[in-house]
């Protein structure tokens, strides 16, 4: 008996994108040698730092994808690194994302008064 997949069309689409990010990383040699998970997470963080720098520079257009602002491309880089990592280690980030989004809709205003 096959258990039906309870993933939404949106989640299935995101799973395909996640798998594609990882496949590209493999094809480009980023997983030829073992990578320490902490290093991978630090690289995710470095992309966020590059997004801050793009904002400091006034968000110029990106040199590789000139139809987008540099900050937009840096945020895309963050997602690509997260998706690659999660696919490699079989973390269900798409499932967690949709579950967390649903949960956040039930939370109180500013989660009960948090300042930030």
Nearest to 83, CA basis, from 43, 54, 52: 43
- pLDDT value, residue 5: 62
Nearest to 69, CA basis, from 50, 82, 42: 50
Percent pLDDT > 70 in the chain is: 96
Could you tell me the pLDDT band of residue 4, with boundaries at 50, 70 and 90? Answer: low
- pLDDT value, residue 101: 96
Kindly report, residue by residue over 5-62, the tens digit of the pLDDT. Answer: 688 999 999 999 999 999 999 999 999 999 999 999 999 999 999 999 999 999 899 9
Percent pLDDT > 90 in the chain is: 88
The DSSP annotation for 3-52 comes to: PPP---HHHHHHHHHHHHHHHHHHHTTTTSS---HHHHHHHHHHHHHHHH
| Range of lowest pLDDT (16-25, 73-82, 85-94, 105-114) | 105-114
Number of Cβ atoms within 10 Å of the Cβ of 71: 20
Place of tokens 């269900």: 92
């Amino acid at each position: 008996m096959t258990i039906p997949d309870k993933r939404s069309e949106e989640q299935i689409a995101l799973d395909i994108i996640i798998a594609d990010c990882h496949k590209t990383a493999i094809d480009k040699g980023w997983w030829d040698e073992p990578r320490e998970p902490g290093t991978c997470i630090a690289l995710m963080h470095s992309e966020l730092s590059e997004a801050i720098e793009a904002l400091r520079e006034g968000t110029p257009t990106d040199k590789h994808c000139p139809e987008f602002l540099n900050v937009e491309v840096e945020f895309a880089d963050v997602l690509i690194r997260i998706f690659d990592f999660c696919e490699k280690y079989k973390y269900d980030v798409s499932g967690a994302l949709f579950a967390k989004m649903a949960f956040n809709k039930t939370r109180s205003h500013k989660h009960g008064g948090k300042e930030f």
